Amino acid sequence: MAARTLRIGLIPGDGIGREVIPAGRRILESLPSSLGLKFDFVDLDAGYEHFKAFGTALPEKTVETLQKECDGALFGAVSSPTNKVAGYTSPIVALRKRLSLYANVRPCKTVLSPAFRSPSTSPIDLVIVRENTEDLYVKEEKTYPDPNGDGQIAEAIKRISTQASRRIATIAGEIAARRQKMRQKPNGEAAQKEAMVTITHKSNVLSQTDGLFRSTAREALAAPAFSSLKIEEQIVDSMVYKLFLQPQYYDVIVAPNLYGDLLSDGAAALVGSLGLVPSANVGEDIVMGEPCHGSAPDIEGKGIANPVATIRSVGCMLEFLNQPEAADVIYNAVDEGLREGKFISPDLGGKASTEEVMDDIVRRL
Ligand SMILES: NC(=O)C1=CN([C@@H]2O[C@H](COP(=O)(O)OP(=O)(O)OC[C@H]3O[C@@H](n4cnc5c(N)ncnc54)[C@H](O)[C@@H]3O)[C@@H](O)[C@H]2O)C=CC1
Ligand SMILES: O=C(O)CCCC(=O)C(=O)O
């Protein structure tokens, strides 16, 4: 059988993005040939450093190459400034919109290992499915003088549409149904964990925006295709409470953009480190793997960034490019490495460098 070649755009960005994306590439290059996959790579620019050097954080060439040439992509991280900088806008937020990457799928899973402790001692296995194109991330903000006194007023639009809410709820349902099937025991016994989608929102306060998200998601998940799933909903503040107390309860969580972002960093703490949690930005035309973490300026240049989130993001990218077997090879190699615990990075209490963790996983592929 002729090998299939997938073209992958590599966008390291800033900070530790430049340290972890090479690990992602190396994993793809090291996959067993029996999988029948080959990869070619195209290096692409984006980020705050690029903005400072050339005046643009997301060159058109990057967007066009991804649109016209690539099957998949890996994005590292960018160092967006926290103050307003004229002409700068976050390239990752822009890419998600420009490429219509409508879903950000963030699996969060514990690997129990004697080599490191995660705050939660019983296994967590949940997926946060985050709407990726709207909500407050439309970034329509304005500032104007306060007519009633000193100072200014700043406003931001929170936009929620039926179409995006339906699409994200549908993919959340599909993911939950797929996980249910995978958990089914061969003897037909029901799996222990209930297959479930939890819709999260704040429609007790934001009855129009989050209200639309909630009712649309409810309607989409009432489809016959999802009849074997339990569908429930939870207000986002109490969801944070329950997620921290009883994370094992959750299966698939579907959320508007900002809540999904916040919940996934919280879930990352529960499984041990942001350096462990991957994501796939999923669209119709391209899938972009991306670790959930940022550019981590506090550890940049030290060679100690945990590459696992990026390596698992390679798995997520392949999963949504319909290569589940290749994805499993990666997930299993990572889990085995963590379980054995010989090469554990400092964020998990170990001493291994980015390269040592990567080499250990490559050996296991
Ligand atoms: N998708 C993206 O490109 C994102 C970019 N950012 C940007 O990143 C910059 C820094 O943001 P922070 O709030 O500090 O968040 P961060 O995610 O970069 O770091 C938070 C903490 O987690 C640690 N950490 C993150 N990834 C790690 C890894 N792979 N291995 C070991 N430790 C890791 C960091 O050292 C830090 O202590 C900001 O400029 C922000 O705009 C933040 C989040 C996402
Ligand atoms: O810092 C940036 O440029 C964007 C950070 C993006 C992010 O945190 C998210 O996934 O919502």
Q: Predicted ipTM?
A: 0.98
**Residue-wise pLDDT tens digits, 206-234:** 999 999 999 999 999 999 999 999 999 99
Query: The domain that contains 177 carries what CATH number?
Result: 3.40.50
Same domain, 85 and 172: no
Same domain, 190 and 277: no
* Total domains, the chain: 2
Residue of minimum CA distance from atom 7 in ligand 2: 261
Query: In the structure, what pLDDT confidence band is assigned to residue 122 with cuts at 50, 70 and 90?
Result: confident
Last residue of a domain, one of 215, 248, 271: 271
- Given this model, what pLDDT does residue 220 score? 98
Task: Please choose, from the candidates 284, 291, 286, 280, the residue with its C-alpha nearest in 3D space to the C-alpha of residue 317.
Answer: 280
Same domain, 206 and 309: no
Which one of the ligands is nearest to 296 CA? 1
Is 59 within a domain?
yes
- Given this model, what pLDDT does residue 3 score? 83
Query: In the structure, what pLDDT confidence band is assigned to residue 104 with cuts at 50, 70 and 90?
Result: very high
Ligand 1 contact via 8 beta carbon (within 6 Å): no
How many angstroms does the Cα of residue 92 sit away from the middle of ligand 2? Answer: 7
Same domain, 29 and 94: yes
Same domain, 126 and 91: no
Query: In the structure, what pLDDT confidence band is assigned to residue 190 with cuts at 50, 70 and 90?
Result: low
Same domain, 192 and 235: yes
Is 139 within a domain?
no
Is 149 within a domain?
no
Same domain, 257 and 242: yes
Q: Which of 90, 97, 130, 137 to mutate to test the pocket of ligand 2 (most atoms within 8 A of CB)?
A: 90
Is 194 within a domain?
yes
**φ, ψ of residue 188 in degrees (nearest 5):** 85, -5
Is 143 within a domain?
no
- Given this model, what pLDDT does residue 357 score? 98
Closest atom, ligand 2, to C-alpha of 78: 3
Other Cβ atoms less than 10 A from the Cβ of 154: the count is 10
Query: In the structure, what pLDDT confidence band is assigned to residue 188 with cuts at 50, 70 and 90?
Result: low
Name residues whose C-beta falls within 8 Å of residue 145's C-beta, 6 or more positions apart in sequence: 151, 152, 153
Ligand 2 contact via 93 beta carbon (within 6 Å): yes
Same domain, 309 and 244: no
What is the share, in percent, of the chain residues with pLDDT greater than 90? 92
Q: Strand 72-77: give its sheet, edge to edge.
A: 37-43, 4-13, 72-77, 287-289, 280-282, 103-109, 125-131, 252-255, 196-201, 230-235
Query: In the structure, what pLDDT confidence band is assigned to residue 1 with cuts at 50, 70 and 90?
Result: low
Ligand 1 contact via 19 beta carbon (within 6 Å): no
How many angstroms does the Cα of residue 298 sit away from the middle of ligand 1? Answer: 9
> Mean pLDDT of all residues in the chain?
96
Same domain, 256 and 305: no
What is the share, in percent, of the chain residues with pLDDT greater than 70? 99
Is 329 within a domain?
yes
Query: In the structure, what pLDDT confidence band is assigned to residue 2 with cuts at 50, 70 and 90?
Result: confident
Res. 114: pLDDT tops 90: no
Average pLDDT over residues 309-330: 98
Res. 187: pLDDT tops 90: no
Is 157 within a domain?
no
**φ, ψ of residue 153 in degrees (nearest 5):** -125, 135
Same domain, 94 and 174: no
Query: In the structure, what pLDDT confidence band is assigned to residue 201 with cuts at 50, 70 and 90?
Result: very high
How many angstroms does the Cα of residue 180 sit away from the middle of ligand 1? Answer: 32
Res. 124: pLDDT tops 70: yes
Task: Please choose, from the candidates 9, 70, 72, 7, the residue with its C-alpha nearest in 3D space to the C-alpha of residue 282.
Answer: 72
Alpha carbons 287 and 85: distance in angstroms, whole number: 29
Last residue of a domain, one of 255, 271, 287: 271
Same domain, 200 and 246: yes
Last residue of a domain, one of 224, 248, 271: 271
Query: The domain that contains 294 carries what CATH number?
Result: 3.40.718.10
How many angstroms does the Cα of residue 37 sit away from the middle of ligand 2? Answer: 31
Same domain, 11 and 124: no
Res. 193: pLDDT tops 90: no
How many angstroms does the Cα of residue 149 sit away from the middle of ligand 1? Answer: 38
Is 144 within a domain?
no
Q: For residue 96, what are the domain limits?
A: 1-105+273-365
